[in-house]
Amino acid sequence: MMSMLLLLALSAVIAHPVVRRFGRRTFVALAILVAGVFSVLLWISQPVFSGEALVETVQWVPQLDLSITLRLDSVSALFALLVTGAGALVLLYCASYFEDGEQGLARFAGVFMGFATSMLGLVLADDIYLLFIFWEGTTVFSFLLIGHATRLRTANAASLQALMVTTLGGLAMLVGFVLLAQQAGTPLLSEIVADPPQGAVATTAVYLLLVGALSKSAIFPFHFWLPGAMAAPTPVSAYLHAAAMVKAGIYLIARIGPGFSDVPGYRETLVILGAVTMINGGIRALKQFDIKLIVAHGTVSQLGLLVMVFGVGDPRASYAGFALLFAHAVAKAPLFLAVGIIDHSTGTRDLRKLCGLSRRMPVLAVLTIAAAASMAGAPPFIGFVAKESAFTELLRIGESEPLAYFAFFVALVGSVLTVAYMGRFLWGAFADKPGTSECSIVHRPAPVLFVAPAAFALLALAGGLLASPIDPLLQATVPHATEHPEHLALWHGFTLPLAASAAVLLLGSVLAMLLSRMRAVIPALPERFSASHAYWVITHWLDTAAVRITAITQRGSLPFYLAVILIVMVGALGGTLLVTGEWPAEIELMSSPVQVPIAIIMIVAAIFSLRARTRFQSVVLVGVTGYGMAAIFAMHGAPDLALTQALVETVTLIAFVLVIRRLPQRMGSASSRRVRWIRVAIGVAVGLVIGAFAVVALGSRIAEPISLQIPGLAAAGGHGYNAVNVMLVDIRGWDTMGELSVILAAATGVASLVFLRTRADLRPKLTRRAARSEARAHLMHVADPDHPARRVAWLLAGRHLDPAHRSILLEVVVRLVFHGLIILSIYLLLTGHNTPGGGFAGGLVAGLALVARYLAGGRYELGATVPLDAGRILGTGLALAVSMALLPMFFGQSALASAWVDVDLGPFGVVPLVTSTLFDVGVYLVVFGLILDVLRSLGAEIDEHEEAETASFEEEEVQSR
């Protein structure tokens, strides 16, 4: 099972590039792949339908009792076969439905396979947290599939609506899962259902689970998102909204029903909501003119029937529910596919414009009639067998449970509506209607397009004719029933359920004929009373509230934001200190006399920064405090921290200088006396509270700190003697992974704010050979050997600089130190495992070398120095770090585990080679890429903006003259 999921996940990853290369033909290969998974599942399910269960478990986080546990029993096998079988047929349909070169086709293929993987994982997962991950995976992938046509506002709105509704239900379900796992003492769903917890907490958890299930399966009051999702391509509707996604909620209800059907109100809730959904969906289906919306509202109606039947909470009803579920999938999927062929061929889905298709497309008419007949419950199709089974079991259960009688009568009325809207669908799609011209076939469908609908229709027919062989498979889903349900059969004799089925067909046919002759629309409640309208009203209120709250809190004033943050911090920490009242017995003011002058310098610099009149002065004075901290770190035996602090402070200072170039040189107007005193009060309060908090925190230690063990852990587990670096790349490597992701996000944010068109560096790259050839060609035109142009440029891009901005001294110094800085950065990288340094410090040093090249030669020199895209460097660094984190898992080790080998070089000593050094290389590349990205955005791009503005201003001046 695990291998099948991994295979499908891999196919989702490679589908995009393969479809881009080979086009829609790739869908055939994907269909064969999914069909192969279906065959394997069918083969391994043979013992499952005999009462066994296959379980696969891989430990994930043993400390938290989290594992990847997959379980294949009769219920999950039924759903898994449905997911893979329907998926294979729909993929085959896609091969002819789409056109080569269609926009987003490659993305569609990858997302579709991702959805299939998530759906299969959902029905196989036994661990509830793993089930939730796959559950949300289906939500995200369905959002992408519904919004496939990104340029259509209707598709975007429908996908967002589906995402919000199902995500809200999924979050409620997650809370329910957590509560159930805590109460049951196990995260395995099979064990929770086998021994269900009792009490108010468990009851609350069950209802939270139902919120997720009902929202996923579009049950009232969440029913409105499914018809809107018909903006998706037809294959999506056939798979997600008929055979797969909407069945996820039904699956969860079927799973938890045996254990929690006795929860107070459980049965009543499901039966009533299912009944409302079935009747409402049936009535709305009769109102539609779009044949796809007829099938969509019919789907909602049938989902209500399934919830109602499973909600009765009796194993016999569940047995009938499984039969109905299979019948619905094999009948509703071909109806959607038929709608796709009609739309594909005629360019319309409006039944008022369709006419005569039964004569022009007889094969499609036969297949669609077969599917519609099964959906309506006509013999000899599986729909008739399943519906008669539901009627039978509901009547039997009703003898002891009156709620089942209510469900029976609602199912009876809803089935009449089903026959009616299926008849209206067939009449609207294929019949010759008076006053309507024949549809012109604008696109003749390929014969392959009929394979999938034909396969579904044959399954519907075979399911009815071969009901007896199918019966044992469904009987396996209810092995612990005290009373066994009636066996599936096409003929049980003259019974009350048979009479009910006949009455349904008769009344539904009469209603369909009456509606086909009526031109008036069936009256219904105004739209403002619908759940869909309520959704849009609620979202409008949320948008309005968000705008108003944002207008109040996000005033665009940085001092205001800082004041709020600092006041909250002072209140929280200061209040905690006052409440606890725990103060150390003695306070040591300093540990070394050298601290005094450093502290005085930092305090004086901070005070003078408040009096600075220019931004540059303020930035430099604030930087003094950072260098003071570096001095304190160095004095206390932390050279790594001191080196990193000094480098970070330097890079930050440079970034500030690059930014303030675009700001006025002098500070803004002075604030009022009242504002200044408020700022003074906040500053003093922050200083006092932070100082007091530090004193209390340091004086509250009663045990030896764990940091005393870190040097030993670094040597034993990381094979390094620089405890700081080993901790970053080994002991706490996950923290570093997170920090690298934050750095990547920060670089992306800065670039997004600055770059106007594209992030890529499109400036011409000047290689050394090209620069020398151009310089030689230029010198040939200068006859005077003493001409300034004969002077050899120190910089590759020197000729692009304004002579007024050039500094020969700076150019010489940069040329002399640049390569040394690069070598120093590599030295810090490679030796950081045992001596001060590491990837972070090395990347900062290499970044400073780039800063020097940029300051000396401008943006052209920067492009000539590193002709690579900063984004690629950042991505490569993160990919390398992630790879080195995951690689040990393939050798049975935990993530980020280190391995090493000591290489004896004879007279040169022993050189240790540690795998975490490669992780450090990733850190080096990310830091280096970040600085390069900042220089290109805050430096080179702003330079270009300034030059463009200057040129525009000069041009305007020339034109004005």
Is the N-terminal amide bond of 523 cis, ω within 30° of 0? Answer: no
Question: How far is residue 301's CA from residue 298's CA, in Å, rounded to a whole number?
Answer: 5
User: Which residues make Cβ contacts (< 8 Å) with residue 319, sequence separation at least 6?
Assistant: 389, 393, 474, 475, 477, 478, 481, 485
pLDDT at 88: 94
Taking only the tens place, the pLDDT of each residue in 587-607 is 777 778 888 899 899 989 988
Compute the average pLDDT of residues 206-215: 94
**What is the spatial distance between Cα 594 and Cα 524, in angstroms, rounded to a whole number?**
85
Query: 206, 204, 201, 210: which is closest to 182 by C-alpha?
Result: 201
Distance CA 109, CA 94 (A): 9
Res 585: pLDDT: 74
In sequence order, the β-bridge partners of residue 902 are 912
State mean pLDDT over 852-872: 82
Compute CA distances 941 → 99, 745, 765, 923, 951, whole Å: 41, 19, 15, 25, 15
Which of 689-698, 766-775, 949-958 is predicted least confidently?
766-775
Residue 71, H or E segment: strand 66-72
Structure tokens at 638: 């932390």
The conformation of residue 350, written as its DSSP 8-state character, comes to B
Among 390-394, 402-406, 674-678, name the one with the lowest average pLDDT: 674-678
Helical spans, DSSP H, in 636-709: 639-660, 673-699
Say how far apart CA 722 and CA 725 lie, in whole Å.
Answer: 6
Please state the rounded mean pLDDT for residues 213-240: 88
The per-residue pLDDT for range 38-53, each reduced to its tens digit, is 999 999 988 888 878 8
pLDDT of 782 over the 50 cut: no
pLDDT for 773 equals 63
pLDDT at 845 > cutoff 90:
yes
Statement: residue 834 has pLDDT above 90:
no
d(CA 236, CA 244): 10
> What tens digit of pLDDT does each residue of 418-447 get?
999 999 999 988 888 776 666 666 677 888
Q: Which of 271, 158, 164, 294 is nearest to 216 (CA)?
A: 164
DSSP 239: I
Mean pLDDT of 832-837: 87
Q: What is the pLDDT of residues 440-495, one digit of tens each?
A: 666 778 888 899 999 999 999 999 888 888 888 888 888 766 677 788 888 888 88
pLDDT in tens, 69-125: 899 998 999 999 999 999 999 999 998 888 877 888 999 999 999 999 999 999 999
Residue 101: per-residue pLDDT = 77
Phi, psi of 584 (to 5 degrees): -65, 150
Q: 134-142: long-range contacts at Cβ-Cβ below 8 A with a sequence spacing of 24 or more? A: 135/170, 135/173, 135/212, 135/216, 135/248, 136/167, 136/170, 138/244, 138/245, 138/248, 139/163, 139/166, 139/167, 139/170, 141/111, 141/112, 141/114, 141/115, 142/115, 142/166, 142/229, 142/236, 142/240, 142/245
pLDDT tens profile 326-340: 999 999 999 999 999
Give the span between the Cα atoms of 650 and 9, in whole angstroms. 45
Question: Does this model's pTM top 0.85?
Answer: no
* pLDDT at residue 796 tops 60: no
Q: Per-residue confidence at 794, pLDDT binned at 50, 70, 90? A: very low
CA distance 116 to 36: 14
CA dist 486 and 507 (Å) reads 26
Quote the CA–CA distance of 211 and 197 in Å, as a whole number: 19
pLDDT of residue 777: 57
Over the stretch 614-659, which tens digit does the pLDDT of each residue have? 888 888 898 899 999 999 988 888 888 899 899 999 988 888 888 7
- 78 and 473 Cβ atoms separated by less than 8 Å: yes
Q: What is the mean pLDDT of the chain?
A: 85
Position 200 confidence tier, pLDDT thresholds 50, 70, 90 = very high
3-state SS, residue 172: helix
